[in-house]
Amino acid sequence: MAGIKWDQAMIDNVVSEQQLFFRTNTTLDVDWRIEQLKALKSSVKRHEKDILTALRHDLGRHPLEAYFCDVGTVILEINEMIRGVKRWAKPETHLSGILNFPSLITKVHKMPYGTVLIISPFNFPFTLSLGVLAAAIAGGNTAVIKASSKSPECTRVLRELIDDAFPADYITVIDGGHDVADMCLEARFDKIFYTGSPRVARHVMERASVNLTPVALELGGETGNWAVVRSDADIDDAARKIAFFKMCNSGQICINVNQVAVAEDVAETFVDKLKSEITRRVGEHTSQSPEYPCLITDAAYRKCADEAELYRDRIVFGGSGIEAERKYDATIIYPVSIDEDIVMHELFCPILPVVPFKDSEVDDLMDTIAGREHGLSLYVFTSDKKWADRVMTTQQYGGGCVNEVCMHMMVKGVPFGGTGHSGMGAYHGIWGFREFTHPQTVLYGKTKLNLPLREHPYGGIKNAYKDKLVRIFER
């Protein structure tokens, strides 16, 4: 299917063919789903070299970072689906209750939605397409992946990987720009899963509302993700972990630290440690390191450089780049006020604003953060476990860590998803299976000894018992 120029009729035809295949009930067989998951895993392994090469071409990823983030992660996700789907797909059995006597049994069947649309982004073009696809397959759906036009080599390899494993009437990849994405949104899908920005998510929801199509949204958050470093934190450890994360994929990660608030009595020390950690790993000028990734497009590079230029007088590290290679230095801006524009929107680049605060006023800081749009992640660094527990159980965000960054998304059996402007819905493991299935409740009735409580007539002496029994059963 390489080189196809998609139009609305072609997309509608793909969706129609997948819907016809779905109605054969082939995908309802759980053993068959497991075989498809194994086929997906095998195809990922066969195309591993091509995946790593494509990620190097589009995003400048080092092979180890590429494998860790976009190959190994996918394999682990598929493995979890293979191990768990037979158990997850079993119908739940419930007692029907006294009001339904003599009907004793009610079951909840986990039914696939049907034909689903997966709109995947450029930043993790395999994890955020194939990881979602694994959940869709486990749930018994057919799927169309609309891959990003910003990472063309990755999209090409993704298409080959899928074509190698599945027929188009089951799984297919559609490439192209925003016009093709809009064509996909015009088609009649049964479920839409979108990963990207809140701005585009509004458009996706608007289009989905025409057909009342259910959606899941995985977004970065309107005002970005906070890390909070308190005075009692291990500053060396916090700097080490935040430095790693901010450089990973050149900051193009939806759960990345967008800005860090640091207690003012340790802020200077933290900034110095952060500089040292970045330099230790890739050198003072990160853009010159062959291990340092690039920004996805020329426009993304210019946006990053222009944002940094607005704060040129407060850049304490970085602040330059190699435009021809789309590589901008990991850049620290300090000090920044909590109300400045740079901490009021998602950056999605290697710029890190550092916001000093009084540690005695940390609860006021958290109230300010809580008053903004909910982030996809929250990270706190402190030795005060009681405070950390209180914060992590009262703030609203997608997921997060205490004295760590990002690794919560690597834990098996737990959900990954946002809330509010960072998204809706969740996936990974059983949560992905649930996201792509609809629970259908079925009561299995009896034909003998049915109670007449619900039936007319209700009045008269002969029927007075009905009122009494209903009040007893429903109290």
The question of whether 340 is a catalytic residue gets the answer: no
Token pair of 332 as six digits: 């620290």
Phi, psi of 474 (to 5 degrees): -110, 30
Token pair of 367 as six digits: 């109230």
The per-residue DSSP string of 282-300 comes to H-SSGGG-TTS---SSHHH
Token pair of 434 as six digits: 């649930």
C-alpha–C-alpha distance, residues 423 and 434, integer Å: 16
Residue 377, H or E segment? strand 377-381
431 and 110 Cβ atoms separated by less than 8 Å: no
CA distances from 406 to 349, 352, 425 (A): 16, 16, 19
Half-sphere exposure of 12 (CA within 13 A, CB side): 5
Which of these is catalytic: 154, 184, 254, 304? 254
The question of whether 218 is a catalytic residue gets the answer: yes
Which of these is catalytic: 65, 218, 307, 435? 218
Neighbouring CB atoms inside 10 A of 366's CB total: 21
325 conformational bin, left if phi > 0, alpha if psi -120 to 50, beta if neither: alpha
Residue 265, H or E segment? helix 264-282
295 and 250 Cβ atoms separated by less than 8 Å: yes
Token pair of 304 as six digits: 């990053």
Phi, psi of 321 (to 5 degrees): -170, -175
Token pair of 423 as six digits: 């998204």
Query: Which neighbouring-strand residues pair with 315?
Result: 333
Residues 6+ apart with CB under 8 A from 270: 229, 235, 238, 239, 260, 262, 354
C-alpha–C-alpha distance, residues 457 and 463, integer Å: 7
Neighbouring CB atoms inside 10 A of 21's CB total: 17
357 and 205 Cβ atoms separated by less than 8 Å: no
Query: Which neighbouring-strand residues pair with 416?
Result: 427
The residues carrying an active-site annotation are 218, 254
